[in-house]
Structure 1
Amino acid sequence: MIRFLSRFVVGLALLPCAMAMPMQNPGFENGLDGWILLERDLPDPMTSVAADAAREGSAGLRVEDADKQNGSSLVSQPLPASPGLTYKLAFYARAKGANKGAVYLRFYDSSRKIIDPQNLPSVAISKAGDWENYALEAVAPAGATAVAIWIHSWSGATGTIEFDDFSLEEAGASGASAAPAAAVSPAPERKSAEPPGAVAREKPAMIILKLDDLKVSGGGRLQPEWQRVLDILKARNIKASFGIICDSLAKADPSVIQWIKETHDSGLVEFWFHGLNHDVRTENGVQMAEFKGRPYEEQKRRFEESEALAREKLGFAFSTFGPPGGGSAGSFDEVTVRVMNDVPEMKVWLYPQPLDDAGRQLAEDGKVVILDREWPVNIEQPLFVPNAERLERGYAKYPRRAYFVLQGHPTHWKDEGFVQFEKILDFLQQQNAVFVTPQECAAAVEQKTAQAN
């Protein structure tokens, strides 16, 4: 069983200003992670992620609808919602031909049934040509407990639409009726405010630097970006965590093994389990991450084989897990939850998404501490691109959150990426943030929870 110990800070008061909601993968940089494809029974799926569909970053969403009878269907993972509050959606789209489809807001009741499905708030893709910024506002109706974004091309229409850069915000009660009344139109280009300065906080935030995909090169050598990161950490005397892809330990040069051991012993870095081989396979046309869709015995074998490699080569076991992504259907499933409960070494889960039903059912027991994410507060925005300005804006939106898990992939960074990474560290150190390992953060969360109880 797993205890979910994310936002243990006291509840935020509802504010009249809009607050960014923690959408997973709003720019499709991680394929369809965080989205649910509802068209898998169609002979020719219409929805895909492609590099040349991107407005910014490395990927965007493409809907190619050549079916005159059926429409496409993709929905985001639901996020918590409250009746009477206003939800503000923004995104970019471009189309070959107008009025081919729309984006909707779905509100769900406590049993996860869609409220008034025939009258969903929506905004039609009304212009053909280059990228347009669209916006939609709706008031959550009575009984609403969750909200999701639905992208749908109409059944009688054909054509191509591309989407990118979704965002969803929650605003205070507006005095609107309880029915989800929508205001729709292509929105003017949004201009960013100046980056915030010091963020007022009662207590400095804990920061976990979650740096993924440590593996050896073809010659068994360490990729040079990892030494560059470590040099930065040492110069600033701050802590971080590195996720190891474990099958590379078997072919690592002895110098790499020694580097990991010495770095581990320094106390600056916690090494954690990031998969046996980070493979992505295709099943029935769907890309599947390493810990998605595999049976219990196979998932557990991957944990156990990796732990054995770590003990043999490094002299220590992993206590923290961060599932590898890369698929289009999420990075783990209910089987992974069972395995985490059953592998004795596992104590902390760097959870890649908001809490789902499987995790919620297991939330009260204390074997594993789950440390979740706030997507607007991250090193890379979009994927593989460190962005200090976006992190600063996101950080300012959560003044009462106790910790942040910041993900990055150093082997994908060029020089400018490292410049942005150091700007992020500059900002966080100016905020008096406390850099901790996942194990240290989990211990602090447990202590706070015990005191509260």
Structure 2
Amino acid sequence: MKKFLLLSLAALALPVSAQTKRIAIIKADDVREVDPKWDRFFKLAEEHGVPVSAGVIGNSFEKQDEKYDEWLKKWEATGKVEYWHHGWDHRRWDEEGKHKSEFNGTGFAQQRDHLVKTQDAAKAALGKPFVAFGSPFNEVDADTAKALNEIPELKMFFCWPQAEPAKELKGKTLLLMTMPGENDGTGKPNFAKFKEVYQRRMADPSFAFCALQFHPGAFAEEGFGEFASIIEFLKAEGWTFMLPGEYAKSLEK
């Protein structure tokens, strides 16, 4: 059985200062190489006036050359892109009839090793560690919490707001994915379906934060238009888009 380290909305009590507006963070997954789709995604977000956070797979620093590092730095320098820790190898598999993935069923030692290796690679390539973590496939277990607690640099954690609270996490800001960005599957945003889900979610008066997950590298042509429609709709609804680091600072006020 898969073990997921997730938390309920009730477990996240936002400070009053953070509840004064609706805040959205764009969580874009799976940066692993220089890709024109990512260039297009970053440019499109910039044209629509929103920043994006992008999850980098750690072993991409090993697999790519220095042009990759410079490409990452170029987009980060715009101030509109922030990178986050998306694991080391982004693997999942079945072993002796059991489902496993990088942060599910692999044990504390390996999970901690993958967290540290990716942090070290980021420091070497980008000059600084990541401050947010989101697991591949959003799969985590109790060992993930223990491993994250040993990496104080990782201050934020992307996760779904389902199941039991992640009581073992200490000193982490939780970036809850309270609504899906891709309603037709990975890399397939659908604005009409998104709007339907959104309208149902708005029945909850506490709905004031959302990390929206997208996979730009898997977008078909129509995906870019659907993404833009979602962004413009949320802007019209009064949502403020932030980067994870900016959001963390807002909670300190």
Which runs of structure 2 are paired with 1:196-215 in the superposition (5 Å)?
Answer: 204-215=21-32
Q: Report the residue type matching 2:231 in the other structure.
A: L
Answer yes or no: is the 8 Å Cα contact 2:159–2:175 preserved in 1: yes
Separation in structure 2 between the aligned mates of residue 353 and residue 332 of structure 1, nearest angstrom = 13
Q: Please name the residue that 1:430 is paired with.
A: 236
The CA deviation at 1:275 is 0.7
Answer yes or no: is the 8 Å Cα contact 1:8–1:402 preserved in 2: no
Deviations for 1:129-179, whole angstroms, at most 9, x for unmatched residues? Answer: xxxxxxxxxxxxxxxxxxxxxxxxxxxxxxxxxxxxxxxxxxxxxxxxxxx
Q: Please name the residue that 1:336 is paired with.
A: 144
In the alignment, does 2:70 pair up with 1:253?
no
- Secondary structure of the equivalent of 1:288? strand
Answer yes or no: is the 8 Å Cα contact 1:270–1:437 preserved in 2: yes
Separation in structure 2 between the aligned mates of residue 261 and residue 249 of structure 1, nearest angstrom = 13
Q: Please name the residue that 1:15 is paired with.
A: none
Q: Please name the residue that 1:102 is paired with.
A: none
In the alignment, does 2:77 pair up with 1:265?
yes
The CA deviation at 1:258 is 0.9
Answer yes or no: is the 8 Å Cα contact 2:15–2:251 preserved in 1: no
- Structure 1 segments, 4+ long, off by >6 Å, are none
Answer yes or no: is the 8 Å Cα contact 2:23–2:240 preserved in 1: yes
Which runs of structure 2 are paired with 1:6-17 in the superposition (5 Å)?
Answer: 6=12, 8=14
The CA deviation at 1:396 is 2.4
Q: Please name the residue that 2:118 is paired with.
A: 306
Structure 2 CA distance for partners of 1:300 and 1:211, relative to 1, 3 Å: same
Q: Report the residue type matching 1:369 in the other structure.
A: T
Unmatched tracts of structure 1, length 5 or more: 11-201, 217-221, 448-453
Which residue of the other structure, out of 274, 284, 293, is the alignment partner of 2:105?
293
Q: Report the residue type matching 1:209 in the other structure.
A: I
- Secondary structure of the equivalent of 2:82? strand
Separation in structure 2 between the aligned mates of residue 213 and residue 336 of structure 1, nearest angstrom = 19
Q: TM-score, normalised by structure 1?
A: 0.50
Which runs of structure 2 are paired with 1:86-125 in the superposition (5 Å)?
Answer: none
Separation in structure 2 between the aligned mates of residue 439 and residue 383 of structure 1, nearest angstrom = 28
The CA deviation at 1:353 is 4.3
- Secondary structure of the equivalent of 2:26? strand
Bigger strand share? 1
Structure 2 CA distance for partners of 1:439 and 1:266, relative to 1, 3 Å: same
Separation in structure 2 between the aligned mates of residue 292 and residue 422 of structure 1, nearest angstrom = 33
Q: Report the residue type matching 1:272 in the other structure.
A: W
Q: Report the residue type matching 1:8 in the other structure.
A: L
Q: Report the residue type matching 1:386 in the other structure.
A: P
- Secondary structure of the equivalent of 2:59? helix
Q: Please name the residue that 1:395 is paired with.
A: 198
Separation in structure 2 between the aligned mates of residue 428 and residue 293 of structure 1, nearest angstrom = 37
Structure 2 CA distance for partners of 1:208 and 1:353, relative to 1, 3 Å: same
Answer yes or no: is the 8 Å Cα contact 1:369–1:442 preserved in 2: yes
Deviations for 1:240-271, whole angstroms, at most 9, x for unmatched residues? Answer: 10000110111223222112112222221110
Which runs of structure 2 are paired with 1:42-53 in the superposition (5 Å)?
Answer: none
Larger Rg: 1
Bigger helix share? 2
- Secondary structure of the equivalent of 1:379? coil
Separation in structure 2 between the aligned mates of residue 393 and residue 9 of structure 1, nearest angstrom = 29
Q: Report the residue type matching 1:390 in the other structure.
A: K
Answer yes or no: is the 8 Å Cα contact 2:176–2:209 preserved in 1: no
Bigger RCO of structures 1 and 2 (CA < 8 A, at least 6 apart): 2
Q: Report the residue type matching 1:410 in the other structure.
A: P
- Secondary structure of the equivalent of 1:425? helix
The CA deviation at 1:344 is 1.9
Separation in structure 2 between the aligned mates of residue 252 and residue 319 of structure 1, nearest angstrom = 22
Q: Report the residue type matching 1:242 in the other structure.
A: A
The CA deviation at 1:446 is 5.0
Separation in structure 2 between the aligned mates of residue 406 and residue 6 of structure 1, nearest angstrom = 17
Q: Report the residue type matching 1:223 in the other structure.
A: D
The CA deviation at 1:381 is 0.5
Q: Report the residue type matching 1:273 in the other structure.
A: H
Separation in structure 1 between the aligned mates of residue 49 and residue 74 of structure 2, nearest angstrom = 16
Separation in structure 1 between the aligned mates of residue 123 and residue 235 of structure 2, nearest angstrom = 35
Q: Please name the residue that 2:4 is paired with.
A: none
Which runs of structure 2 are paired with 1:129-208 in the superposition (5 Å)?
Answer: 204-208=21-25
Separation in structure 2 between the aligned mates of residue 324 and residue 421 of structure 1, nearest angstrom = 21
Answer yes or no: is the 8 Å Cα contact 1:270–1:438 preserved in 2: yes
Which residue of the other structure, out of 210, 225, 234, is the alignment partner of 2:37?
225
Task: Name the stretch that deviates more: 382-391 or 297-306.
Answer: 382-391
Q: Please name the residue that 2:3 is paired with.
A: none
The CA deviation at 1:204 is 4.0
In the alignment, does 2:189 pair up with 1:381?
no
Answer yes or no: is the 8 Å Cα contact 2:146–2:168 preserved in 1: no
Deviations for 1:352-384, whole angstroms, at most 9, x for unmatched residues? Answer: 342525x1x336x5x11112222xx32201322
Answer yes or no: is the 8 Å Cα contact 1:7–1:402 preserved in 2: no
Structure 2 CA distance for partners of 1:7 and 1:413, relative to 1, 3 Å: farther
The CA deviation at 1:9 is 8.0
Instruction: State the identity as a percent.
Output: 27
The CA deviation at 1:397 is 3.0
Q: Report the residue type matching 2:73 in the other structure.
A: K
Separation in structure 2 between the aligned mates of residue 370 and residue 345 of structure 1, nearest angstrom = 14
RMSD: 2.3
